A = this chain, B = another copy of it.
Amino acid sequence: MGLTVLKVGGAVVENAESLARLIADFAAMEGPKVLVHGGGRSATAMAERLGMETRMVEGRRITDEDMLGVVTMVYGGLVNKRIVALLQAAGVNALGLTGADMDIIRSHRRPPKGGIDYGWVGDVDRADGQRLARLLGEGIVPVIAPLTHDGQGHLLNTNADTMAQTVACALARHYEVSLRYAFEKRGVMRNPDDPETLIPNITEVDFRRLCEEGVIQGGMKPKVENALEAIRQGVAEVRIGETRIA
Protein backbone atom coordinates (compact mmCIF):
# COMPACT_ATOMS: atom_id res chain seq x y z
CA MET A 1 0.00 0.00 0.00
CA GLY A 2 1.14 3.56 -0.69
CA LEU A 3 2.21 5.84 2.13
CA THR A 4 3.33 9.46 2.02
CA VAL A 5 5.97 11.00 4.27
CA LEU A 6 5.66 14.75 3.92
CA LYS A 7 8.33 17.06 5.25
CA VAL A 8 7.39 20.72 5.54
CA GLY A 9 9.84 23.46 6.36
CA GLY A 10 9.51 26.09 8.99
CA ALA A 11 8.32 28.76 6.57
CA VAL A 12 5.22 26.69 5.76
CA VAL A 13 4.14 25.97 9.34
CA GLU A 14 5.08 29.33 10.83
CA ASN A 15 2.77 31.46 8.73
CA ALA A 16 -0.93 31.24 9.66
CA GLU A 17 -2.12 31.29 6.05
CA SER A 18 0.26 28.68 4.66
CA LEU A 19 -0.27 26.54 7.78
CA ALA A 20 -4.04 26.57 7.22
CA ARG A 21 -3.48 25.54 3.59
CA LEU A 22 -1.08 22.79 4.67
CA ILE A 23 -3.62 21.41 7.16
CA ALA A 24 -6.36 21.35 4.52
CA ASP A 25 -4.11 19.82 1.87
CA PHE A 26 -2.61 17.25 4.22
CA ALA A 27 -6.05 16.29 5.56
CA ALA A 28 -7.22 15.75 1.97
CA MET A 29 -4.34 13.40 1.15
CA GLU A 30 -5.50 9.81 0.70
CA GLY A 31 -3.97 6.83 2.47
CA PRO A 32 -1.62 6.51 5.42
CA LYS A 33 0.67 9.48 5.95
CA VAL A 34 3.32 10.99 8.18
CA LEU A 35 4.11 14.68 8.64
CA VAL A 36 7.60 15.84 9.62
CA HIS A 37 7.94 19.54 10.35
CA GLY A 38 10.63 22.13 10.97
CA GLY A 39 10.33 25.31 12.98
CA GLY A 40 13.71 27.02 12.87
CA ARG A 41 12.41 30.55 12.40
CA SER A 42 10.12 30.28 15.41
CA ALA A 43 13.01 28.95 17.48
CA THR A 44 15.22 31.84 16.36
CA ALA A 45 12.46 34.34 17.11
CA MET A 46 11.85 32.81 20.56
CA ALA A 47 15.58 32.78 21.33
CA GLU A 48 15.71 36.46 20.42
CA ARG A 49 12.76 37.26 22.69
CA LEU A 50 14.66 35.50 25.48
CA GLY A 51 17.77 37.57 24.77
CA MET A 52 19.69 34.62 23.34
CA GLU A 53 21.88 34.78 20.28
CA THR A 54 21.34 32.22 17.51
CA ARG A 55 24.53 30.94 15.90
CA MET A 56 24.34 28.88 12.73
CA VAL A 57 27.21 27.01 11.06
CA GLU A 58 26.53 25.66 7.57
CA GLY A 59 22.82 26.01 8.12
CA ARG A 60 22.90 24.09 11.43
CA ARG A 61 22.05 25.64 14.76
CA ILE A 62 24.68 25.61 17.50
CA THR A 63 22.64 24.10 20.32
CA ASP A 64 23.92 24.76 23.81
CA GLU A 65 21.91 23.79 26.90
CA ASP A 66 19.76 26.94 26.74
CA MET A 67 19.11 26.65 23.01
CA LEU A 68 18.13 22.99 23.50
CA GLY A 69 15.49 24.26 25.91
CA VAL A 70 14.23 26.68 23.27
CA VAL A 71 14.01 24.13 20.44
CA THR A 72 12.42 21.57 22.79
CA MET A 73 9.73 24.11 23.70
CA VAL A 74 9.21 25.46 20.21
CA TYR A 75 9.48 22.31 18.08
CA GLY A 76 8.07 19.76 20.53
CA GLY A 77 5.49 22.06 22.12
CA LEU A 78 4.42 25.17 20.27
CA VAL A 79 4.71 24.10 16.64
CA ASN A 80 3.98 20.39 17.04
CA LYS A 81 0.93 20.64 19.30
CA ARG A 82 -0.64 23.43 17.28
CA ILE A 83 -0.41 21.29 14.14
CA VAL A 84 -1.84 18.31 16.02
CA ALA A 85 -4.84 20.31 17.29
CA LEU A 86 -5.52 21.75 13.83
CA LEU A 87 -5.27 18.34 12.19
CA GLN A 88 -7.66 16.87 14.77
CA ALA A 89 -10.14 19.59 13.86
CA ALA A 90 -9.68 18.61 10.19
CA GLY A 91 -10.58 14.99 11.00
CA VAL A 92 -7.02 13.63 11.04
CA ASN A 93 -6.18 11.52 14.10
CA ALA A 94 -2.78 13.15 14.60
CA LEU A 95 -0.21 12.13 17.22
CA GLY A 96 2.64 14.53 17.92
CA LEU A 97 5.98 12.83 18.42
CA THR A 98 9.63 13.51 18.99
CA GLY A 99 12.17 10.76 18.49
CA ALA A 100 12.16 10.19 22.25
CA ASP A 101 8.46 9.27 22.31
CA MET A 102 8.19 5.48 22.19
CA ASP A 103 11.88 5.59 21.27
CA ILE A 104 10.89 5.98 17.62
CA ILE A 105 14.03 7.80 16.45
CA ARG A 106 17.37 7.31 18.13
CA SER A 107 20.41 9.44 17.43
CA HIS A 108 23.80 10.26 18.92
CA ARG A 109 25.29 13.60 19.73
CA ARG A 110 27.39 14.84 16.85
CA PRO A 111 31.07 14.81 17.87
CA PRO A 112 32.95 18.12 17.48
CA LYS A 113 34.56 18.29 14.04
CA GLY A 114 36.95 20.78 12.50
CA GLY A 115 36.89 22.82 15.69
CA ILE A 116 33.09 23.12 15.62
CA ASP A 117 31.00 21.74 18.48
CA TYR A 118 27.34 21.87 17.48
CA GLY A 119 26.33 21.08 21.04
CA TRP A 120 23.12 19.10 21.59
CA VAL A 121 22.68 18.22 17.93
CA GLY A 122 21.87 14.65 16.95
CA ASP A 123 22.90 12.53 13.99
CA VAL A 124 20.20 9.95 13.37
CA ASP A 125 20.96 6.27 13.90
CA ARG A 126 17.62 4.54 13.33
CA ALA A 127 13.85 4.87 13.24
CA ASP A 128 11.43 2.23 14.54
CA GLY A 129 9.46 1.48 11.38
CA GLN A 130 7.54 -1.35 13.00
CA ARG A 131 6.13 0.87 15.75
CA LEU A 132 5.24 3.60 13.24
CA ALA A 133 3.61 1.04 10.93
CA ARG A 134 1.52 -0.25 13.85
CA LEU A 135 0.28 3.28 14.63
CA LEU A 136 -0.48 3.91 10.95
CA GLY A 137 -2.38 0.63 10.81
CA GLU A 138 -4.64 1.94 13.57
CA GLY A 139 -5.41 5.07 11.56
CA ILE A 140 -3.07 7.31 13.53
CA VAL A 141 -1.11 9.99 11.71
CA PRO A 142 2.32 10.70 13.25
CA VAL A 143 3.36 14.37 13.31
CA ILE A 144 7.07 14.43 13.98
CA ALA A 145 9.04 17.35 15.46
CA PRO A 146 12.77 17.70 14.67
CA LEU A 147 13.99 16.37 18.03
CA THR A 148 15.46 12.97 18.82
CA HIS A 149 17.15 11.42 21.86
CA ASP A 150 20.27 9.43 22.61
CA GLY A 151 18.70 6.85 24.92
CA GLN A 152 20.70 8.28 27.81
CA GLY A 153 18.21 10.95 28.77
CA HIS A 154 19.30 13.69 26.39
CA LEU A 155 17.10 15.27 23.77
CA LEU A 156 18.93 16.28 20.60
CA ASN A 157 18.16 18.96 18.04
CA THR A 158 17.91 17.10 14.74
CA ASN A 159 17.64 18.01 11.09
CA ALA A 160 14.05 17.51 9.92
CA ASP A 161 15.07 16.53 6.36
CA THR A 162 17.21 13.70 7.71
CA MET A 163 14.45 12.59 10.08
CA ALA A 164 11.95 12.48 7.22
CA GLN A 165 14.35 10.40 5.16
CA THR A 166 15.05 7.99 8.03
CA VAL A 167 11.33 7.57 8.72
CA ALA A 168 10.63 7.02 5.01
CA CYS A 169 13.35 4.36 4.77
CA ALA A 170 12.19 2.59 7.94
CA LEU A 171 8.65 2.47 6.56
CA ALA A 172 9.76 1.29 3.10
CA ARG A 173 9.73 -2.27 4.45
CA HIS A 174 6.02 -1.94 5.26
CA TYR A 175 4.69 0.38 2.55
CA GLU A 176 5.41 1.73 -0.91
CA VAL A 177 6.68 5.08 0.31
CA SER A 178 6.54 8.44 -1.42
CA LEU A 179 8.79 10.96 0.36
CA ARG A 180 8.02 14.61 -0.28
CA TYR A 181 10.00 17.65 0.73
CA ALA A 182 7.67 20.64 0.50
CA PHE A 183 9.07 24.13 0.83
CA GLU A 184 8.85 27.62 -0.67
CA LYS A 185 10.37 26.86 -4.07
CA ARG A 186 8.92 24.74 -6.83
CA GLY A 187 11.89 22.37 -6.71
CA VAL A 188 15.46 22.25 -7.98
CA MET A 189 15.87 24.95 -10.63
CA ARG A 190 18.77 25.75 -12.97
CA ASN A 191 18.10 29.39 -12.19
CA PRO A 192 16.60 29.77 -8.68
CA ASP A 193 14.82 32.95 -9.77
CA ASP A 194 13.16 31.38 -12.79
CA PRO A 195 10.52 28.70 -12.09
CA GLU A 196 10.61 27.82 -15.78
CA THR A 197 14.06 26.29 -15.29
CA LEU A 198 12.70 23.59 -12.95
CA ILE A 199 14.55 20.30 -13.32
CA PRO A 200 11.80 17.64 -13.48
CA ASN A 201 13.91 14.59 -12.62
CA ILE A 202 17.29 13.96 -10.99
CA THR A 203 19.20 10.66 -10.99
CA GLU A 204 22.47 9.87 -9.18
CA VAL A 205 24.38 10.70 -12.36
CA ASP A 206 22.46 13.97 -12.85
CA PHE A 207 23.17 14.90 -9.24
CA ARG A 208 26.95 14.64 -9.59
CA ARG A 209 26.87 16.67 -12.81
CA LEU A 210 24.54 19.33 -11.36
CA CYS A 211 26.82 19.68 -8.31
CA GLU A 212 29.89 20.08 -10.56
CA GLU A 213 28.04 22.71 -12.59
CA GLY A 214 27.16 24.53 -9.37
CA VAL A 215 23.41 24.24 -10.06
CA ILE A 216 22.88 22.24 -6.87
CA GLN A 217 24.61 23.96 -3.96
CA GLY A 218 24.06 25.22 -0.41
CA GLY A 219 21.09 23.80 1.50
CA MET A 220 19.76 22.05 -1.60
CA LYS A 221 22.75 19.71 -1.75
CA PRO A 222 22.07 17.74 1.47
CA LYS A 223 18.36 17.71 0.57
CA VAL A 224 19.03 15.98 -2.75
CA GLU A 225 21.63 13.71 -1.12
CA ASN A 226 18.99 12.71 1.43
CA ALA A 227 16.56 12.05 -1.42
CA LEU A 228 18.97 9.83 -3.35
CA GLU A 229 19.91 7.92 -0.19
CA ALA A 230 16.20 7.29 0.42
CA ILE A 231 15.85 5.82 -3.08
CA ARG A 232 18.86 3.57 -2.46
CA GLN A 233 17.18 2.36 0.73
CA GLY A 234 13.93 1.37 -0.96
CA VAL A 235 11.77 4.49 -0.96
CA ALA A 236 9.71 4.40 -4.16
CA GLU A 237 9.93 8.08 -5.06
CA VAL A 238 11.11 11.38 -3.62
CA ARG A 239 9.68 14.71 -4.65
CA ILE A 240 11.26 18.06 -3.79
CA GLY A 241 9.34 21.32 -3.97
CA GLU A 242 5.68 22.25 -4.34
CA THR A 243 4.27 23.77 -1.18
CA ARG A 244 0.81 22.85 -2.53
CA ILE A 245 0.69 19.18 -1.74
CA ALA A 246 -2.81 18.02 -2.61
Interface residues of A (CB under 8 A from B): 46, 49-50, 69, 72-78, 80-82, 84-86, 88-90, 93-98, 100-103, 134, 138, 140, 147, 149, 151-155
Contact of A153 among B89, B134, B147 (CB under 8 A): B89
- Across the interface, do B82 and A72 meet the contact criterion of CB distance under 8 Å? yes
- Across the interface, do B72 and A77 meet the contact criterion of CB distance under 8 Å? yes
| Closest chain B CB from A101 CB (angstroms) | 5
| Closest chain B CB from A146 CB (angstroms) | 12
Interface majority SS on A: helix, strand, loop or mixed? helix
Residues of B within 8 A of A77 (CB): 72-78, 80-81
Q: A84-B100, A85-B154, A88-B103 are in contact. List 10 more A-B contacts (CB 8 A).
A: A46-B73, A74-B77, A76-B78, A76-B96, A77-B77, A81-B155, A85-B149, A88-B100, A89-B151, A96-B98
| Closest chain B CB from A147 CB (angstroms) | 7
- Across the interface, do A102 and B93 meet the contact criterion of CB distance under 8 Å? yes
- Across the interface, do A102 and B95 meet the contact criterion of CB distance under 8 Å? yes
13 CB < 8 A contacts A-B: A72-B81, A76-B96, A77-B80, A77-B81, A81-B100, A81-B147, A85-B100, A85-B155, A88-B100, A93-B102, A94-B101, A96-B100, A102-B140
| Closest chain B CB from A22 CB (angstroms) | 13
- Across the interface, do A73 and B78 meet the contact criterion of CB distance under 8 Å? yes
Closest residue of chain B to A135 (Cβ to Cβ) is B102
Provide the bound-state CA to CA distance between A153 and B24, in Å: 12
Residues of B within 8 A of A69 (CB): 78
- Across the interface, do B101 and A84 meet the contact criterion of CB distance under 8 Å? yes
Given contacts A81-B147, A100-B84, contact A152 B75 (CB under 8 A): no
Provide the bound-state CA to CA distance between A4 and B80, in Å: 28
Residues of B within 8 A of A94 (CB): 100-102
Residues of B within 8 A of A155 (CB): 81-82, 85
By Cβ-Cβ distance, the 3 closest A-B pairs, closest first, are A77-B77, A89-B153, A73-B73
Closest residue of chain B to A155 (Cβ to Cβ) is B85
Residues of B within 8 A of A88 (CB): 100, 103, 149, 151, 153
Residues of B within 8 A of A75 (CB): 77
Provide the bound-state CA to CA distance between A103 and B149, in Å: 25
- Across the interface, do A153 and B85 meet the contact criterion of CB distance under 8 Å? yes
